[in-house]
A and B are shown apart, each in its own frame.
Chain A
Amino acid sequence: MQDAEQERKRRQRMRSVAIAWILAALVVLFFIVTIVRLGGQVAVRPL
């Protein structure tokens, strides 16, 4: 029973780590895509 609980915790931890990595990768991806889409236009704005 204890083994099952340990296994459950291990899998949950692995899933959490994977989700964290995916979220971090998405943040980086959205940042880069935003910069690329804005392109040179980012500097063109009223002062």
Chain B
Amino acid sequence: MADVAFTVTAGTVEAEAGGDVADYVALLKPRVMFLVVFTALVGLVAAPGSMHPVLAIAALLCIAAGAGAAGALNMWYDADIDAAMTRTAARPVPRGRVTAEQARSFGAVLAIGSVLCLGLMANWLAAALLALTIGFYIFIYTMWLKRTTPQNIVIGGAAGAFPPMIGWAAATGSVGLEPLVLFLIIFVWTPPHFWALALLRTRDYAKAGVPMLPVVSGADATRFQILVYSLILAPLGMLPAIIGLGGTFYAAAASVLGSLFVVFAIACYREREGEEADRAAKNLFAYSVLYLFLLFAVLLVEQGFGIDGGALPPLWAS
């Protein structure tokens, strides 16, 4: 953070003109926002009872704005890291299109506004969870863990795991076992997802001084950790079916998708040199996104359209 002033000096003239609308949209990290809104939607739809569609859309808009706020605040604080990494150097702050202070103000207004609106439009438990998510992402992950420990994304992953719980809370005004299970799936999914990316960007992270696992412990240790988390994730993905949140279709999808995740993780563990290793990490990263999307999509279809193929046999069902 101390280097931000230096980093953006080159773009000060550009920043004086202020960013255009596209720059502010980029500050929201739209792709991350999409996944957040999607998983929140699943939590909202899977929750018992019904929520008026208008209130559901309003709640999702608030969650989207909250996710965007976290992205903007992250880009404010991490401007020095972003400038040092190839992957993030084109972001609005390091490029000088928006000053770090503008990003901070934009994020702060959006964060406060989204939490207040969610409280007024849905309920205050959901608003408190959204505030906790934004706070956790900024204060715990961005400001503390990211720069100090290779376990940064393990603990910090909690921030990305909260959205289904927020969606559930918005619909019901409470949280229970079911949203906790959805939380756990995303929480365990996060490390192998980000470590696969970190394997491909190790030099970038090292240059920026971010202690990602491959930088601190090496690629082989990271591949082993990825495999361990994948072996935990595959059975964990079955939990919604076991507790009755997902039906037979979900159980079938989760077992196939989870097994494929392990297959990709094994390939990543075995391929350790050259282009083959890069390709294995790239495949795992791409598949991890698809895995989470499909897993939650099946749950969404089952719960949203009532097509669950029936509950699992009594032996499985709780």
Contact = CB atoms under 8 A, between A and B. Distances in A.
Contacts of A14: 20-21
Interface in B55-94: 55, 58, 61
A11 B52 contact: no
Interface in B1-47: 13, 16-21, 24
Contact of A4 (B13, B19, B54, B58): B13
Contacts of A18: 21, 24
A14 B24 CA distance: 11
A37 B123 CA distance: 12
Interface residue SS majority, chain B: helix
Interface residue SS majority, chain A: helix
Interface string A21-46: 00000000100110011000000000
Interface size class of A (residues with CB under 8 A): 10 to 19
A32 B54 contact: yes
B121 A8 contact: no
A37 to B, nearest CB: 7
Given A15-B24, A29-B61, A33-B121, A8 B54 contact: no
A8 B55 contact: no
A14 B97 CA distance: 14
Nearest to B113: A26
Q: Which 6 A-B pairs have the closest CB atoms?
A: A8-B17, A18-B21, A11-B20, A36-B54, A11-B18, A33-B121
